[in-house]
Structure 1
Amino acid sequence: MGTTDNTGQSDFQPVFENRVRFAETDQQGIVFYGEYFTFQDEAVSQLFRDIDYDYDRMHEDGWQVHVANTELNYRNAAEFGDVIVNELRVAEIGTASFTVDYRAKRAADDQLLVDGSVTHVAVDLETERPTRVPDAFREGVTAFQGGLPDS
């Protein structure tokens, strides 16, 4: 279960680690910037599994998520072979959307590599229209990080 910092905001939680593969690097020998969007997406997918609300359960409950916005800020470079710790926290849950803050750090020295966020909109599977984020999802987030963010 997560804790909160002195502002009341939930702390980042590590959700998975990955070792940088050669195919994820560019000609300069560092992680190609676009790969971090994939890492961010995998971190969010792992969050869904960690709160026991994966994509299969979403579909069973009649909804899915669409990405509305994503942003990353590049702070430091990672290279082939580096282990990256991918962390996140749910920063906001609205009626039909939620925003997840993301950051990636190098495991060897805890150096911040990137930070940013991704906003998902809950969408009804049949109508393709925004729908309310289910209470069970909110409850999973509460258990994961020790409370809901202030929305």
Structure 2
Amino acid sequence: MTEPRKPIVEMPLRVRYHECDGQGIVFNANYLAYVDMAMFEVERTLYGSHEAALALGVDVVVAESNLRYRAPCRYDDELVVSVFMNHLGTTSLIIDFEISRDGAVCTEATTRYVFVDPATLKKAAPPAVVREVYAALLPAQAD
């Protein structure tokens, strides 16, 4: 039996009125903002701050995002964005996000980030210390 994934971060948030569309549902693009906010919380958890991660000689840029909407979220809903490590490549990583309300997943997101040099913003493999931090978060592989 496989163990449930352990999130790197669980970020609570409350939906604000201006994040909703005319139908009273969170406008689709705002889910990506929630994902982005949660990724900064990952950096805070792993390195202390975004600035501390930059000081290690690494930054990430979004290369691809995919979202699956399972249930609508509305104004004043209390949500939790859970962040999970999915894959670590040579110059990229894939992170999964689950946005839930009352324990039920409303939205799933998968984002591929590319590591870049903070000074040039050119793709670059992360320093070994950064790679080790992310590698330690990879899910266990079934035999």
Measured against the shorter chain, the TM-score band is: 0.7 to 0.9
Output aligned runs, 1:5-24, within 5 Å.
6=2, 10-24=5-19
Distance 1:134 1:150, change over 3 A: farther
Question: Are the structure 2 counterparts of residues 53 and 119 from structure 1 closer, same or farther at C-alpha, using a change threshold of 3 Å?
Answer: farther
Structure 1, unaligned runs of 5 or more: none
Q: Find the aligned partners of 1:58 and 1:52 in 2 and give their Cα distance.
A: 6
SS across alignment from 1:30: coil
CA drift at 1:139: 3.5
Cα distance between partner residues in 2 of 1:58 and 1:76: 34
- Percent identity, aligned pairs only? 27
Q: Distance in 2 between matches of 1:97 and 1:150?
A: 19
**Distance in 2 separating the partners of 1:10 and 1:19:** 24
TM-score by length of 1: 0.81
Q: Does the 8 A contact of 2:9 with 2:42 survive in 1? A: no
May I ask how many residue pairs the two structures share in their alignment? 141
Of the three residues 72, 85, 91, the one matched with 1:90 is 85
8 Å CA contact 2:88, 2:134 repeated in 1: no
Q: Which contiguous aligned blocks of 4+ residues in structure 1 show a shift greater than 4 angstroms?
A: none
User: Closer, same or farther in 2 for the Cα pair 1:150/1:134, shift >3 Å?
Assistant: farther
For the structure 1 residues 13 and 52, does the alpha-carbon distance in structure 2 shift closer, same or farther, using more than 3 Å as the test?
closer
Shift of 1:11: 3.1
**What is the deviation of 1:75?**
0.6
Structure-2 change in CA distance of 1:20 and 1:127 (3 Å):
closer
Give the equivalent residue in structure 1 for 2:46. 51
CA offset digits 1:37-78 (Å, max 9, x no partner): 000111111111111263212322233211111111111011
Structure 2 residue 111 is the aligned partner of structure 1 residue 118: yes
Stretches of structure 2 lacking an aligned partner (at least 5 in a row): none
